[in-house]
A and B are shown apart, each in its own frame.
Chain A
């Protein structure tokens, strides 16, 4: 409750600082231990294994495709969400909840839901099977869908944050000067929010890369087809912990590299 100017800035009170350090330790210590316990000497051999390489390639390819899909679907959804600020309360809250739910849902629940919808006895899956003879579960496409489901909100919120802070007057000016809605979106809005879009895409990519629960539930686990790096790591943990740690390090390395490249940019974007 101290509102003296200056008290809010400067150093933290010691209990706050101490708890902050404990909080940081909770986040960082497990990962530091992982790095410390890694079988560094055997690492080249472990990473060179066919099974590991296969999982890494599958993870990278599916995560890139999922990120692309998230961009195509997420930027318009973010635009809709930003526009919804002028809507009545209930529809606005429903829309926001719909976009937020996959963010807080256990991914396994997402996987079950996807399986119920797109499984061969699901309302959409059965139609796809009847009309085109294609089944979605157990395919690489199912991996991408699972990743899109869990990663899309990250992109939407990053872009929406950028859209809301963007100055609407430029858009209005362009419209007054005769630009169509599409021209305004393409030439005014998009360039302004480009940094937000880039940040969202990178977050989206790392989230897709780490997807496990929805994938194993909806897409299954078959080497080279649906067995991504997280699943391979989980399975390896049952028989060969060294390989599991090597796989985990790969994932950690890629994620940290991507986040470091982002610097502080992503934080302002991710607001529920």
Chain B
């Protein structure tokens, strides 16, 4: 009995450990042109939450082009992702919603030359039907309304702060969320009356929300940089993906999602 238990335990541990092992087979092999097809390259891309829809499509198209590469996307607040990379998270490409989180990685010597590939601006967003009668940025100061904003520690929050300060609006937020998609969810659920998100998020959310353009938002532009991570095990695939995103087809997808040109 003890022996059987020990064998079972060993087997379990073995499986668990195998699961933890990095998927590094085929690492270093060329991303494209390898017709053997047996050694798949796994490419991990960390991307800002606001890039979710655009990068889902970009990854699908890229995989179609280069079947040997399996793209794995991880979305989150740019600052959190940057911090994870500093702590050694195994990503091959990083795309941020602003230059500050990318600079953290440049300073740490973790990325090659970042390239700005898209721009984004903020928009006021309200639940479908605008139940609270929100008309403009000034409404964010109305205390009786429920307002969600991004936390100033993430790019959309920093941009929101800048915009509100420039317009002299003393916002009365009820929650400061850790990424832009969390803010958007609170709006589409109708839990808040208004919020500031990127115009691309308003587009992505469809009918659940309505966007209200803020003219002054044009002066607060977020620039999105992308870079391959230094020493990536899939360096070729990483470079190919960056080239794809910054290339013509990438531009076309990003355009469709509402991102501005760099």
Contact = CB atoms under 8 A, between A and B. Distances in A.
Interface residues of A, number: 26
A237 B2 CA distance: 44
Contacts of B123: none
Interface residues of B, number: 25
A115 B9 CA distance: 40
A19 B9 contact: yes
B83 interface: yes
Given A19-B9, A238-B178, A241-B83, A119 B153 contact: no
B79 A238 contact: yes
A238 B175 contact: no
Contact of A221 (B79, B146, B175): B175
B83 A13 contact: no
Interface in B187-219: 189-192
B177 A237 contact: no
A226 interface: yes
A235 interface: yes
B191 A235 contact: no
B2 A220 contact: no
B260 interface: no
A1 interface: yes
Contact of A137 (B83, B178, B191): B191
B174 A237 contact: no
Interface string A134-169: 010110000000000000000000000000000000
A89 interface: no
Given A120-B191, A239-B79, A221 B177 contact: yes
A138 B77 CA distance: 21
Contacts of B189: 115, 119, 121
A121 B153 contact: no
Interface string A209-241: 000000010011111011100000011011101
Interface of B: 1-2, 6, 9, 77, 79-80, 82-83, 146, 148, 151, 153-154, 173-178, 186, 189-192
Interface of A: 1, 13, 15, 19, 115, 119-121, 135, 137-138, 216, 219-223, 225-227, 234-235, 237-239, 241
